[in-house]
């Protein structure tokens, strides 16, 4: 599976040019389709010689191999888009995915942090250290805006307007959105720009807003590991993910009365149903508070 089938390459090129999908999303599609192509090859078949029977056989094979239901759901999405593309290009006569249903997924509540935990996390970086001053600004900005970590580390100077208190984000599918920063985030980013950024850059010119120790754009994995280190120092035992502060941002907004559609716009969700899972989070927190404090709960 070291080389992709030309059909897969053509499909991914089409997605990249027409949908503007991220490298991570395209990589996930490639992985799903290459594994499926490898399975077909072992059956003496090709991607163009597939019926519902082969697709169902592959799903049964994955079930036997104990693949997660969520990964099978993603696979189904990959196969649906791929075979819709082939049908549109008239490379197949019928769509083998037409009558196949995706596995039902339980709605899992995203991991989040309480407001006190967020406060402890944000207070942890040592602002006298240039790297930690940078991290402090990044954490404040992340919690203030609900950005994806990939959006945060990819920020450039031209996307930021401290005077207006806004950051311009190009999210999934190339969609732009303007997100307000808030006074605390603006103050922390200003302090970082004044005290630390040029030190990290070695006083060289760069458009990267939050450069690494080497003066280059940081990877999201690096920043995630730094978040976990601050959480450990702050005594936070909650399991963290790269999106933990994004989830906290949405949950805390809803807990304080924000409109769901406003949260949808701020998060950059194209579909309101994606945002609605946070109403379950907020409702669960409110129910827990009621049970804890109401005398007749």
Give the model's confidence band at 102: pLDDT under 50 very low, under 70 low, under 90 confident, else very high. low
> Is 104 inside any structural domain?
no
Last residue of one domain, picked from the residues 88, 103, 133: 88
The total number of structural domains in the chain stands at 2
> Is 126 inside any structural domain?
yes
Asked whether residue 289 falls in the same domain as residue 170, the answer is yes
Catalytic residues: 148, 172, 243, 246, 269, 278
Asked whether residue 129 falls in the same domain as residue 35, the answer is no
Sign of CA dihedral 287, 292, 293, 297: positive
Quote the domain boundaries for residue 31: 6-88
pLDDT on residue 2: 47
Asked whether residue 34 falls in the same domain as residue 146, the answer is no
Asked whether residue 40 falls in the same domain as residue 175, the answer is no
Q: Using alpha carbons, select from 263, 224, 261, 252 the residue that is nearest to residue 240.
A: 224
pLDDT on residue 234: 92
> Is 107 inside any structural domain?
no
Give the model's confidence band at 238: pLDDT under 50 very low, under 70 low, under 90 confident, else very high. confident
Asked whether residue 224 falls in the same domain as residue 80, the answer is no
CA distance 107 to 240: 18
Asked whether residue 35 falls in the same domain as residue 143, the answer is no
> Is 43 inside any structural domain?
yes
Instruction: Supply 58's token pair.
Output: 């592959």
Domain holding 133: CATH number? 1.10.443.10
> What does the pLDDT average to over 47-56?
90
Per the listing, tokens 């946070």 go with: 278
pLDDT on residue 297: 53
Q: What is the pLDDT of residues 133-157, one digit of tens each?
A: 999 999 999 888 888 888 899 999 9
Asked whether residue 60 falls in the same domain as residue 154, the answer is no
Asked whether residue 242 falls in the same domain as residue 146, the answer is yes
Q: Which helix (H) or strand (E) holds 177?
A: strand 176-180
> Is 83 inside any structural domain?
yes
Domain holding 13: CATH number? 1.10.150.130
> Is 96 inside any structural domain?
no
Of 105 and 151, more confident: 151
| DSSP code string of 94-124 | S-TTTTPPPPP---PPPP---HHHHHHHHT-
Q: How far is CA 282 from the centre of its chain?
A: 20
Q: Are the beta carbons of 149 and 224 closer than 8 angstroms? A: yes
Give the model's confidence band at 262: pLDDT under 50 very low, under 70 low, under 90 confident, else very high. low
Asked whether residue 73 falls in the same domain as residue 190, the answer is no
pTM attached to this predicted model: 0.59
Alpha-carbon distance values, 49 to 5, 55, 91, 186, 196 (Å): 14, 11, 10, 57, 58
CA distance 231 to 225: 10
CA distance 165 to 213: 27
With a CB cutoff of 8 Å and minimum separation 6, the contacts of 117 are 234, 236, 238
Instruction: Supply 97's token pair.
Output: 């995915």
pLDDT on residue 69: 65
> What does the pLDDT average to over 233-260?
77
> Is 223 inside any structural domain?
yes
pLDDT on residue 148: 83
Q: What is the mean pLDDT of the chain?
A: 82
CA distance 295 to 297: 6
> What does the pLDDT average to over 236-262?
74
Asked whether residue 82 falls in the same domain as residue 119, the answer is no
Nearest-10 Cα torsion for 18, 22, 25, 27: 100
> What does the pLDDT average to over 77-104?
87
Last residue of one domain, picked from the residues 45, 70, 88: 88
Asked whether residue 45 falls in the same domain as residue 155, the answer is no
CA distance 55 to 216: 44
Q: What is the pLDDT of residues 168-219, one digit of tens each?
A: 988 666 678 888 888 999 999 999 999 999 999 999 999 999 999 888 999 9
Q: What is the pLDDT of residues 266-294, one digit of tens each?
A: 666 555 455 555 555 555 555 565 566 65
> Is 98 inside any structural domain?
no
Q: Which helix (H) or strand (E) holds 166?
A: strand 166-170
Asked whether residue 74 falls in the same domain as residue 157, the answer is no
């Amino acid at each position: 599976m070291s080389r992709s089938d030309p059909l897969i390459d053509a499909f991914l090129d089409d997605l990249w040019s027409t949908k503007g999908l991220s490298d991570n999303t395209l990589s996930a599609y490639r992985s799903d389709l290459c594994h499926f192509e490898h399975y077909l090859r072992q059956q003496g078949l090709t991607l163009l010689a597939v019926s519902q029977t082969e697709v169902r056989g592959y799903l049964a094979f994955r079930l036997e191999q104990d693949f997660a239901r969520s990964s099978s759901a993603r696979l189904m999405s990959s196969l649906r888009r791929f075979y819709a593309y082939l049908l549109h290009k008239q490379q197949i006569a019928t769509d083998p995915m037409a009558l196949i249903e995706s596995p039902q997924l339980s709605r899992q509540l995203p991991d989040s942090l309480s407001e006190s935990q967020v406060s402890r996390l944000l207070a942890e970086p040592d602002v006298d250290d240039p790297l930690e001053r940078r991290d402090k600004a990044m954490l404040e900005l992340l919690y203030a805006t609900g950005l994806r970590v990939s959006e945060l580390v990819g920020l450039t100077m031209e996307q930021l307007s401290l005077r207006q208190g806004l950051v311009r984000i190009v999210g999934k599918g190339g969609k732009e959105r303007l997100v307000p920063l808030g006074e605390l985030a603006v103050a922390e980013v200003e302090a970082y720009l004044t005290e630390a950024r040029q030190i990290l850059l070695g006083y060289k010119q760069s458009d990267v807003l939050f450069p690494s120790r080497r003066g280059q754009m940081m990877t999201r994995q690096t920043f995630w590991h730094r978040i976990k280190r601050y959480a450990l120092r702050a005594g936070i035992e909650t399991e963290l993910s790269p999106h933990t502060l994004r989830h906290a941002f949405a949950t805390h907004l809803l807990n304080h009365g924000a409109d769901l559609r406003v949260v949808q716009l701020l998060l950059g969700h194209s579909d309101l149903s994606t945002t609605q899972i946070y109403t379950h989070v907020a409702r669960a927190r409110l129910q827990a508070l009621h049970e804890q404090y109401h005398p007749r709960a």
